[in-house]
Amino acid sequence: MTDVARVAGVSHQTVSRVLSDHPNVSAKTRAAVTQVIEQLGYRRNSAARALATRRTHTLGVIAVNTTLHGPASTVAGVQEAARDRGYLTSAVTLRTATQTALAEAMQHLAGWGVEGIVAVTPQRAAVRALAALEAPCPVVTVEGGHTLDLPGVSLDQNLGARMITEHLLASGHTTVWHVAGPPDWLESEARTQGWEDALRDAGAEVPPLLRGDWSPLSGYQAGQQLAGRVLASRGRGAGLTAVFVANDQMALGVLRALREAGLRTPEDVAVAGFDDIPEAEFFAPPLTTIRQDFASIGRDSIGLLLDHIESRTDESTHLVVAPELIVRASTARRSAPPSA
Amino acid sequence: MTDVARVAGVSHQTVSRVLSDHPNVSAKTRAAVTQVIEQLGYRRNSAARALATRRTHTLGVIAVNTTLHGPASTVAGVQEAARDRGYLTSAVTLRTATQTALAEAMQHLAGWGVEGIVAVTPQRAAVRALAALEAPCPVVTVEGGHTLDLPGVSLDQNLGARMITEHLLASGHTTVWHVAGPPDWLESEARTQGWEDALRDAGAEVPPLLRGDWSPLSGYQAGQQLAGRVLASRGRGAGLTAVFVANDQMALGVLRALREAGLRTPEDVAVAGFDDIPEAEFFAPPLTTIRQDFASIGRDSIGLLLDHIESRTDESTHLVVAPELIVRASTARRSAPPSA
DNA sequence: CTTCAAATTGTGAGCGCTAACAGTCAGGAA
DNA sequence: TTCCTGACTGTTAGCGCTCACAATTTGAAG
């Protein structure tokens, strides 16, 4: 920086002002300094800056299962948003969300002076462990529900499930079955709740719940049960004509099971998923599903975190991102009541 | 630090020595200082440390498609290894591996004074763009092949493919078909090469190549072609009794297509994949595949990078990690020659 | 031509740490 | 005793930047 100042014939402080976009610098000086910076390939030393400002401009991300599409995309969204806001992010991936693992991750990040942490913790147990921990800096949860007093952002899972269910009801189905995710996941619970609410509001019967573990295999098994039920009640005007599966991967399994049982989608049974994974569009048939806008979830969580950091608000806010219904062939409108 | 020194009745330099594990500190002093540190909850300021030592102990990770299982796991492995070695990592995820995007990512990381970069670039185009770039610090590629003069680590894809192919040949198949990945991917090419080499070495016929794009759907389509061929040549002692699919996801599609065509796996056609994604064990039937040890890939890449950073070696080394064959039901041994 | 405020620029201190060197203290050899 | 060596500990000076303030310049009003 001293070099730049010398070459440009100004003081180091003026160079600093140019770099920080300080208003009180004449256009001429600014141009000159900028040019010298360019010419010398100078880059401001972030460590010195952090030391002087007492701000590291570094955020931590703690995530639990980054190999799944949802968490992976969320982490990417958060990182992108942070980068746009001029922050460095460092992610720690945990295999399991035990309290010790979370605490260790926090210690690691704290050691680097992170100013805040975004925790991508879709499981109830993880959020609980997190809430019990004494964090060295503001923490914001993503997909962590709003049950506890941590601020957070999540997609409106409930609304998404409602939208799917209502879409199916509106397409002429008398009721909608549901293949839920594992009970410990908040997303799973919210989707189930939304589905149930939509059915009750519409005065439709609430069929028994099936459960999977997010994997295609578990969806396949649930699909076999569903198919068995449809076939068993053939000719008796069965009510099983539509299924809302809690994620796209399981929906894939359901589709396969139905096809193997000789049932057509959507003619015999309409199927909808949740997540809009990239493959969903290429399923056979293309899957109706709910899209999550990970970029905006990331942006919101970073926004929330920086609010806490920069203005020291202590209130814990919850932001909710709107889901988007993507209608594809797997739930094509049913023109007539199901044939007997 | 001054506080700790005052409370412990020593100089700040002694505290520094304790924290840095310097040998010349008496056991008594060390214990006392450690205790005060504990008591005060003191944490050394990383920015000041970085400024004084001129070492940020920060590494960057650039990855292209982190939503796929492979890259996601690799990034996680790298981050874990870096953390174990006392480094902070910051990851940048790119949507596309254009040269500008790569350059931008590097600028961003360079601005934070990263001491090295791990680039997870399985596509040929990405590696090429990377090699053309002037990096501000040492760069190590992961899964970037060893064609260019960048140091790197990769799984021995070639060997893995060989192992799979030889396993199938040893199981009694006269030859092995192959569903390859997209041609731009280095992994894809190496796997194809290994398959071809193994066949030639065994004096087996090399059947025509099928191609997919890693997705289950593309595997399904390839599977339909394969099934069609098997059915068409029924009774004529067809040679299509085993398929090596370049990844597990496509293998899933192949399995489905075969089943739909009324073919049994492994009795009619044996199927093997590559990657050992968590689901592979639960496919129907469980899939024979190649496991990649992402933790050790991460460890090796970080090791390589730190060698470059710490000892300023300029040679570009390539490390190769051994694959592991996981035999499951999808390639059960064939006791008799294929029935006519 | 003077005066003053605003706009611009420069100066010095210090962020918290480590490197290099300068002490201090013991204990054994001369 | 005196000296010296080695083990330990303390002192000082930055690392490269920003903050607070001081100094200077500018331009319009008096």
A249-284 pLDDT per residue, tens: 899 899 989 988 999 999 999 999 999 987 788 787
**Nearest nucleotide to A54 by CA–C1' distance?**
C15
CB B77 within 8 A of CB B46: no
Average of pLDDT values for B41-56? 93
Residue type, B135: A
Average of pLDDT values for B213-227? 92
Quote the CA–CA distance of B175 and A206 in Å, as a whole number: 53
Across all residues in chain B, what is the average pLDDT? 90
CB A129 within 8 A of CB A292: no
Quote the CA–CA distance of B245 and A125 in Å, as a whole number: 38
Distance between terminal CA atoms of chain A? 82
Average of pLDDT values for B101-111? 93
Burial of A186 (C-beta count, 10 Å sphere; 0-12/13-18/19+): buried
Coil, helix or strand at residue A260 = helix
For nucleic chain D, give residues with Cβ below 7 angstroms from it. A 1-2, 12-13, 16, 19-20, 44-45, 48-49, 51-53; B 9-14, 17, 23-26, 28-29, 48, 51-52, 54
**Which neighbouring-strand residues pair with A209?**
A178
**Nearest nucleotide to A14 by CA–C1' distance?**
C9
Quote the CA–CA distance of A157 and A148 in Å, as a whole number: 17
pLDDT band at residue B340, thresholds of 50, 70 and 90? very low
Quote the CA–CA distance of A173 and A176 in Å, as a whole number: 7
pLDDT computed for residue B337 by the predictor: 46
CB atoms within 10 A of CB B39: 11
Which residues, including other chains, have CB under 8 Å from residue B134's CB and lie 6 or more apart? none
**Nearest nucleotide to A27 by CA–C1' distance?**
C8
More confident residue, A209 or B128: A209
Cβ separation B108–A45 shorter than 8 A: no
Chain D positions with any atom < 7 A from a protein CB:
7-12, 14-20
The yes-or-no verdict on residue A288 having pLDDT over 80 is: yes
pLDDT band at residue B147, thresholds of 50, 70 and 90? low
pLDDT computed for residue B254 by the predictor: 94
pLDDT computed for residue A314 by the predictor: 67
The yes-or-no verdict on residue A337 having pLDDT over 50 is: no
DSSP alpha helices (H): ranges in A233-274?
248-260
pLDDT computed for residue B24 by the predictor: 83
- Among B273, B253, B279, CA closest to A214: B279
The yes-or-no verdict on residue B250 having pLDDT over 90 is: yes
pLDDT computed for residue B72 by the predictor: 86
The model's pTM is: 0.87
Average of pLDDT values for A103-113? 93
Quote the CA–CA distance of A150 and A134 in Å, as a whole number: 12
Considering A57-61, A68-72, B237-241, the range whose residues carry the highest mean pLDDT is A57-61
CB atoms within 10 A of CB B207: 16
pLDDT computed for residue A202 by the predictor: 96
The yes-or-no verdict on residue A47 having pLDDT over 50 is: yes
Average of pLDDT values for B133-137? 89
pLDDT band at residue A339, thresholds of 50, 70 and 90? very low
| A67: chain B residues, CB-CB within 8 Å | 69, 72-73, 76, 278
